[in-house]
Structure 1
Amino acid sequence: MNKPKLKISILSMSLLTMSFLVITNAFGAMTKSFPNVPVAKIQMIGTVPSLGTLIATIVVGILGVKYSKKSLSLIGLLITTVGGLLPLVIHGSVDVLIGCAFILGFGLGFVNTLIPMLISIFFEGEERNEMMGKNTAMNSLGSILMMFGGGLLGAKSWVNSYWVFLLGIFVFLLVLFVLPTDKVDYNEKSVNSNVFGILGNLNGYIWLIGLVTLLMGILYTIYPTNLSIVIDQKQLGSTSITGIVNAVGTAGGFIAGFSLKYLNKIFKDKIIASGFITLGITFLLGRTANSLVLICIGGILSGFAMSMIMSTIPFYMSVVSHKYELAVSMMVFQFMNSIGGFISPVLLNLLHIKAGEGSFTFGCICCFVIGLICILANLGKRIMSNSVKEG
């Protein structure tokens, strides 16, 4: 097996994971093209992919115990590319664009769930952990490239932003010809083919890690959704400033992803706790600082926190899962992450927590408390000591 080519083929898929954000750059121009359509409906083009992803996560969990992960990846890439390129042909109706966005999200649900599965299948130990970090780094790089490329292409017409999804064809061909076909073993194909049976017999640590994933999804979503409000409350700048801070945060995630091996050496089994504390510091800086420089430092730390936690969680899930459980375990991971992001604003509203600085205060306290609990409970050490030994 050619390891460099294998790594490239898997990580190329990571470039697409945030591609649903591409069209959000064009919302302003789209409101002019559809003056009689409510802005909230146009914004659904950026939010409905999450629904498609959520549904696809469950579908992949069911299919992943029976079929080759490479085959499912190709299906996901095909659906993603079709959903992304179809608006170039049909773009006269917002309803059609929302439908295409759902298709795009459904395809991305396949891709996002399958990437950690493939890493878990083809890599072991420290190399697997390192690849999880590189996956989050490539997510960040893909976000930068796709947003930047979509912005350039859509400078004259917002429709042209969709040309950036031609990247999907390149990734599809790379996976088709370079990624080796994984074998579905006997246990996956027959004895444990019932996904609900597997769910019922999962290691208890899977559900504990799933809870941590849910909490991370809720808390991290607070940061980007309230950042512009905080900056406005502090009178530090306009929307463009928010974009710069978000870009800096994405760069931080990219750096942290490729540095995960060294971060693991520093924080060892406390890396998830350290990630939550780092995110807590991000909220603290955003809440107390009146300097744009400190806000940007917080943005970098948010990227580090995301990478540290969201790289380590699927790795932990993989080490406490049997091979035939990987598909279902990664389904739990992606499902909990998606649910967390979806319910985050709803939860804050139910708790009557004000947007902006109030939400940052809530996020700060929660992150420090969770980080402390993870340290006191020796979460990382307990998980690694309960790792599954195959064969």
Structure 2
Amino acid sequence: MQKKQNLTILVGIIALTTVTRLDSVMAPSIVKIQQSFPHADPTQVESIASIGDVASMIASFIFGFLLTKMTYKQAATIGLSLLAAGGLLPLFIHQSVSQLIFFALVVGLGSGAITTVLPSLSAAFYQGNRRSNQFGLNVALEDGFAMVWIVVGGFLASISWVQNYLVYLITLVALLLALLFVPNVKPSDHSATTSKQDQANHWWLIISLILISFFVEVLVAVMSNKMALYLNQYQIGGPSTAGQALLFVRAASIVAGVLISFYRKALGNYLLAAGFVSIVLGASLFLSVHTFWSSALGAFLIGSGGSVALITIPFLLSNLASATVYPIVMGSFSALTSLGFAFSAWFFKYTAPLFSSNSLTGTFIAMIVVSVLIILVLVISNLQKRATPAN
């Protein structure tokens, strides 16, 4: 009976992982949308692929609190319904850029809901190493599916930007699976998360970990903005080459998700610090060697470090938060990581000039400096060990 329940919950979790990265699936169609609406503001058109991050951040906060009052199934159903509506209605309603922006906002709201439900559900039904492994599996599946949707979306976009929205048909499949397999219980009804701990220590550790996750996204997201510029500056390749190199960031997430159990055993309480060491090595590679394969390896190292951190931090937070608090904590985590992604370009716009007049060189040096500072904080404070319960 227990095995059957675990299997049904796993199917529900996998259904949610298929759609968590759909909010940026329209990126391949931005140029064609601009061509279809030549008088539209280019910034508005570009926001179709990015405004979902803002909505996702808001939804993460909202659903973090709502999930304390509703069941996992109810929250997942609302999130998936928003994703389906925002992604599929543009197939029929697409007379203006404003309409497309509105639907992108709806998609972002749905995405924010799912990214809050998913880790809360995983933490509620798994314990110990199994929970950590599940978080790793979630990230691997999320990025694996994201790569599939990027390829499918690019193919559909080559036919028509309207057809690109057909990718969102997968939300209907996920919605059906969620209705069948996501448990209809509240976080407080069934949870494997820890009981309430000492409040001062508890909240200090939670806030510290969430702030670190914010900087993880700031550091990793800059790759999306700088890769094409980097390859162009060193005459390595064009936009298509940049896309190939950036795939190594996604691949790193899949590898990290699959091997997280091995990483935990090998690195123990220094796993988080090792993630930032990986980012330092990747950024150093970009500074010292200028070839496609060194760029791909650098992207892989930076992606690996970021993924290890974003798998480990939710696991550590689940050790610190009670069943009723954890959804709010994870809502804050999802919101801050979304903010980190959106804030990344601005952060390096102002920090890179502090280290070099060359913006690319300054960016990678700033990545190294921030990572080293976080490594020192982690090692000196022994933060990961303090957030890990004794066996």
TM-score normalised by the chain length of structure 2: 0.91
Please identify, of 56-65 and 351-360, the stretch whose mean Cα deviation from structure 2 is larger: 351-360
8 Å CA contact 2:256, 2:308 repeated in 1: yes
Pick aligned residue for 1:57 from 57, 60, 67: 60
Amino acid paired to 2:318: S
- Cα distance in structure 2, aligned partners of 1:310 and 1:214: 10
The answer to whether 1:229 aligns with 2:229 is yes
8 Å CA contact 2:319, 2:389 repeated in 1: no
What whole-Å deviation, never above 9, does each CA across 1:25-71 have from its counterpart, x for those lacking one?
01121221111123221101011101110110111122111111221
1:369 paired residue number: 373
TM-score normalised by the chain length of structure 1: 0.91
Q: 1:186, CA displacement in angstroms?
A: 7.3
2:109 alignment partner, SS class: helix
Q: 1:15, CA displacement in angstroms?
A: 1.9
The answer to whether 1:162 aligns with 2:157 is no
Identity among equivalent pairs (%): 25
Q: 1:145, CA displacement in angstroms?
A: 1.0
Q: 1:376, CA displacement in angstroms?
A: 2.8
2:331 paired residue number: 331
- Cα distance in structure 1, aligned partners of 2:359 and 2:91: 37
1:256 paired residue number: 256
User: Residues 352 and 309 (structure 1 numbering): CA distance in 2 closer, same or farther, change over 3 Å?
Assistant: closer
The answer to whether 1:44 aligns with 2:29 is no
Alignment of 1:144-163 (within 5 A): 144-163=147-166
The answer to whether 1:357 aligns with 2:358 is no
8 Å CA contact 1:233, 1:356 repeated in 2: no
- Cα distance in structure 2, aligned partners of 1:74 and 1:200: 35
Q: 1:316, CA displacement in angstroms?
A: 0.5
8 Å CA contact 2:119, 2:135 repeated in 1: yes
User: Residues 184 and 237 (structure 1 numbering): CA distance in 2 closer, same or farther, change over 3 Å?
Assistant: closer
Pick aligned residue for 2:138 from 135, 138, 162: 135
Alignment of 1:50-89 (within 5 A): 50-89=53-92
1:155 alignment partner, SS class: helix
- Cα distance in structure 1, aligned partners of 2:56 and 2:316: 22
Q: Which runs of 5+ in 1 are unaligned?
A: 189-198
- Cα distance in structure 1, aligned partners of 2:242 and 2:298: 12
Amino acid paired to 2:94: H
2:38 alignment partner, SS class: coil
Q: 1:339, CA displacement in angstroms?
A: 2.0
- Cα distance in structure 2, aligned partners of 1:37 and 1:356: 31
1:348 paired residue number: 348
Q: 1:154, CA displacement in angstroms?
A: 2.4
What whole-Å deviation, never above 9, does each CA across 1:92-144 have from its counterpart, x for those lacking one?
21110000000000000000111000001111111110010111111111211
Q: 1:175, CA displacement in angstroms?
A: 1.1
Alignment of 1:280-319 (within 5 A): 280-319=280-319
Runs of 4+ in 1 over 6 A off after TM superposition: none
8 Å CA contact 2:68, 2:188 repeated in 1: no
- Cα distance in structure 1, aligned partners of 2:68 and 2:268: 32
- Cα distance in structure 2, aligned partners of 1:21 and 1:72: 22
1:91 paired residue number: 94
What whole-Å deviation, never above 9, does each CA across 1:307-361 have from its counterpart, x for those lacking one?
2010001000010111111111111211221222222222233346363232112
Amino acid paired to 2:381: A
8 Å CA contact 2:57, 2:336 repeated in 1: no
The alignment yields a C-alpha RMSD, in angstroms, of 2.1
- Cα distance in structure 1, aligned partners of 2:260 and 2:302: 15
Q: Number of residues paired by the alignment?
A: 377
Q: 1:172, CA displacement in angstroms?
A: 0.7
The answer to whether 1:178 aligns with 2:171 is no
Amino acid paired to 2:16: M
Amino acid paired to 2:211: L
1:194 paired residue number: none
